[in-house]
Chains A and B, each alone.
Chain A
């Protein structure tokens, strides 16, 4: 019982991470058909924003010493700010470019951010102690769960509920839903395109920063490559979910988390090192049977 519960919590917390990241990618894809491969580097940047530049192995904490109620908004603002900045400086110039060109631009931007961090901090992972109180375990029905895992799941649920309410109930959400469905038509009807796109980038960046906080607390290290793996999984989740479908991206994020966790448990110990190969195998299977994704967004089929 305790062990099954452990697996369930592992799956949910890993899935939460993938779902948050996939949401960040799907939001931007929805409004401008851009697959933002710089998303993972925004995650890394948000963590490093807490440190002073140095090439030492021991991190020199700067904003990381803030109390949590200031630290969290600070990191979220950094993520949102960098994301909005990348829209203004880079992606705005590519509005009329085709999706492949935009994707290449996002790769390039990702490299710029990564090498900027490399320059300031070197490639050596740094140990940091971010919100250390969260690594204490709590006991639920005989399963010992790190408090952070529980909080990750709860935060993700809160973000999903909050985002749904935001999209359903606010004027900005209405404009964003319309723009995600058919951007050209929304603009023709007077929806403020720049505001909608900047809003999507801000939300996406804040989601990246939330992942940065979780990853930083979980692993206790800051690494310039820390966003890469999550980014890859999140990208796969948005594809499986049906590009542009927010609900699909979240669903697929949790699905990938579940598959990865279950593989980790049921695979024979010798095969566990190759867990990701099995996960990607499952991805291929899903795409063979549903090439359009689990929940495909209509907007991607009918581009104007």
Chain B
């Protein structure tokens, strides 16, 4: 049982607050949803949790130990993996090599990296994609490969940044089934950032709602559904006070 915890994380960029004292906890086997309007700071929070962005104040703790100053690949080795918006695979490399190089980066031998990569593709149900060049894959397959790549080395936590963006209803349902298996079968703690609120309400055990860099609500799907504050944020009144330029500056550059 592992716990990843953001403790009063704040991020200020040139004096403007992107995140203000955000608390959040993900545990093994749990699917935690993170929702909020555009520019709410969701991706910034994921960047902090995975070492891409240092918090201005506050800390990220793994099983109670602070992870301050660790680089993304060091956090990856400690079991905190993520996907990116748009997949970001190595487009000129075959699918299998995309997973293999991740295993090698984690310190595995080539042989065991290849073995795990093959097993992983099989587990996700895309073993037939192994020899395909990643850049030629359709959108949804690309996402599934990106998730497979993130699962190399059996991380304790998986942070998914808008994995369902642009997917059809059926594709989203398939994705939801995969995410459930990741949490239930692998015991992975999943943080799901998603604009598709229906998917989040359907899939997550608990949900955190961010707006303008602050947590405005947490609770189970029923509580979020009933929340007046969440409805208010999504109706757009709060969105006008967002700082989209700031958010863009803090996201990992596309």
Contacts and interface: CB of A to CB of B under 8 A. Distances in A.
Interface string A164-177: 00000001001101
A175 B73 contact: no
Contact of A189 (B76, B97, B135, B252): B76
A268 interface: no
Contacts of B104: 171, 174-175, 191
Nearest to B72: A188
Interface residues of A, number: 19
Contacts of B253: 304
A298 B101 contact: no
Interface residues of B, number: 25
Interface in A247-304: 297-299, 302, 304
Contact of B93 (A171, A178, A297): A178
A100 B3 CA distance: 45
Contacts of B77: 190
Interface stretch (B34-42, B84-92, B187-195): B84-92
A190 B100 CA distance: 12
Contacts of A152: none
A175 B101 contact: yes
A191 B105 contact: yes
B90 A182 contact: yes
Given A181-B90, A182-B88, A188-B76, A298 B105 contact: no
A187 to B, nearest CB: 7
A299 B73 contact: no
B205 interface: no
A103 B100 CA distance: 33
A137 B88 CA distance: 53
Contacts of A297: 92
Contact of B105 (A186, A302, A304): A186
Contact of B92 (A174, A299, A304): A299
B76 A181 contact: no
B92 A191 contact: no
A185 interface: yes
Contacts of A189: 73, 76, 101-102, 105-106, 149
A302 B254 CA distance: 8
Given A189-B101, A189-B102, A191-B104, A181 B91 contact: yes
B107 interface: yes
B110 interface: yes
7 contacts: A171-B110, A175-B104, A177-B90, A187-B73, A298-B91, A298-B92, A299-B92
Interface of B: 52, 72-73, 76-77, 88, 90-93, 97-98, 100-102, 104-107, 110, 135, 149, 252-254
Given A178-B101, A189-B102, A190-B106, 10 more contacts: A175-B101, A177-B90, A177-B92, A177-B101, A188-B73, A188-B76, A189-B73, A189-B76, A189-B101, A189-B149
